[in-house]
Chain A
C-alpha cells in the first residue's frame, strides 16, 4: 500500500502557532466519547407545588450552565427518568446537552422507583457504547443521580440489587439524594452503598442541589478521561451546606 495516503476529508489539522511550525495533516478517529448523565427525579404526589417547580427550574439551570462549559457541552449526554404514578423516560434515551429541551414536570401518584431503575438498566444496556477497536470509542462511565423525597412504593428490590452490582463493579457512578423530612436515610443509603446525601425540600435547597450537580458533571467530564479515572469513584466537589452527606 502506498505511503501517500490521502487524509480523511474532515481530518483534524493543527492550527499554526507561528510561521515556523508547519501544519501536520493526520487522520484521527471521528468518534466522540460521551459522558452519559442520568437524572432520576421523583415526581410523586408529595412533590406537588413548590418542590416540583424547583426541580423543573433546577433542571433548566443545570442545562444552561452546562452549555456554558466547553468540556461539558462537548461530551455530556442527558437521560431523564421521572417516577411519579408511573416511571417515564422522558428523553427516550440519551440526548446531547446542546439539543436538550427541559421538560414540563408534573407531580402525581406514588413512587415507582423500581420501574425507574428498570428503565435505567434498559438504557445502560442499550444506549451505552462500549469501546471496540477499529470501530467506535466507548462512552465514559455513566453518572447517575437519583433524587427522591420518600420511600419507593413498588417492587424495587431486584432492580436495586442489579444497580448495586453494577456500581460495585465500577460500571457506573451513582449518587443518591433524599429531600425532605419523609426520607428514610439509612434505607436510602443501603440501596447502593454509594455516596448518599440528604437535603431540605425548599426552593433554596433544590437550587443548591442542581448547582452542585452542574459542578460535579463539569468535574466528571474532565476526570473520567484521565488514566486511572475509572479505578476510583469520580471525585465530586464538596456539596454545599444545604446538602448533608449520610455516613
Chain B
C-alpha cells in the first residue's frame, strides 16, 4: 500500500510571508519515484530577494498530482500566487480523480488498471457541465481542465480576502495528474515552462506546446482574467502509457537551458543525462543533488529561479 504524501512549497500564511530560498522533496508511489527541487536564481541571490518559483506534489496512495508555478519577477507577491496555485491545483486534481474513479480490484487482471469508472457517461456529463472550453473527450484531461478552473477561482477569492490584486500574484502554472497503476496521465499548462516526456527509445518530446506572446521574454499568466485562452492540455493513455519512462515539469529558468542549443540535439541530451543522474542509487539522495545542481550550474544570462520536477517510472528497473 502506497502512503499518501504532500510535499513541496506550502501556502504562505499571511501576514508573515516567509521566504524559503531552496526546497527539495521526493516520494515513492508504486512504480513511480517523484523528485522535486526548486532553487533561487542568481539574480535573486545577488539582490537578496525571494525565490518566486514554487512546486507541490501530493498523492492519496493511488493517484499523484504534481504542480509547478513560476512567479513573475516584476510582481511583488508572485511567490505567494505561485505557492497558493500549486497547493490548490494538486488538491483539486486529487479530489476530482478520487470522485470520478473508484477502486475496483479485479483478481483476474492485476497488471493494468484496477480502477474502473462507475458511470463514465454520468461523470463525463458532470465535468462537461462545469468546465469551460473543453475540447477533449478524455476524462483525465477534463479533470485537468476543471482543476485549473477551480484553482483560478480559489485564487481570486484568496486575493480578495487578503486585499491583494491578481496582478500582484502573477504566475504561470503547470500541472499533471497520474495513476500509479494504469499509468494514465493528463497535464495542463498556462504560461512558459516545459512538460517533457522522455521515452524508452531515448527520445525527448514536449508533451504540450505552451502558448506564448510574440514579445521577447514575455509570458502569459494563470492569474490573468483571460487565462483560458492561453491554456493547453494533453493526456497520455492507451499504448503510449508504457513508452514514457521519465516525465519532467520545469520552469522557464531550466527550460531555456535545455531547449536551445547549440548543440542541435540538446533537449534529448539533457533529458537522457538527467534521467541517468536521477536514477542513480540511492534514489533518496537525488532530491538534494538536484537542488544543489539547480542552484549552482552557471550559464551566462541564465539568472532565473530554477524548478524541476522529475517523475521516474519503473524506478526499480535497470536503467534502459
Contact = CB atoms under 8 A, between A and B. Distances in A.
Interface of A: 1-5, 7-8, 11-15, 17, 20-22, 24-35, 70-71, 74-75, 131-141, 169-171, 222-232, 235
B279 to A, nearest CB: 8
Given A25-B273, A26-B274, A26-B293, A227 B192 contact: yes
B217 interface: yes
A13 B299 CA distance: 11
B252 A131 contact: no
Given A14-B293, A25-B273, A228-B219, 14 more contacts: A5-B272, A15-B296, A21-B288, A24-B293, A28-B257, A29-B299, A70-B46, A134-B265, A141-B216, A222-B47, A227-B172, A229-B74, A230-B217, A230-B219
For this complex, into which size category does the number of interface residues on chain B fall? 35 or more
Contacts of B263: 8, 30
Nearest to A232: B74
Interface in B192-228: 192, 201-203, 213-219, 221
Contacts of A141: 215-217
B272 A226 contact: no
Contacts of A170: 215-216, 218
B284 interface: no
B73 A24 contact: no
A228 B170 contact: yes
B283 interface: no
Nearest to B72: A228
A1 B72 contact: no
Given A134-B266, A224-B217, A14 B292 contact: yes
Interface in B169-193: 170, 172, 191-192
Main secondary structure of the interface of A (DSSP, over half): loop
Given A75-B300, A229-B73, A138 B216 contact: yes
Nearest to B246: A3
B73 A228 contact: yes
Given A31-B260, A133-B260, A14 B301 contact: no
A29 B273 CA distance: 13
B275 interface: yes
Most A C-beta atoms less than 10 A away, residue of B251, B290, B292: B292
Interface string B254-280: 001111111111111110111111001
A74 B289 contact: no
A29 B261 contact: yes
A169 B260 CA distance: 24
B162 interface: no
A223 B272 CA distance: 31
A7 B271 CA distance: 11
A235 B259 contact: no
Contacts of B75: 228
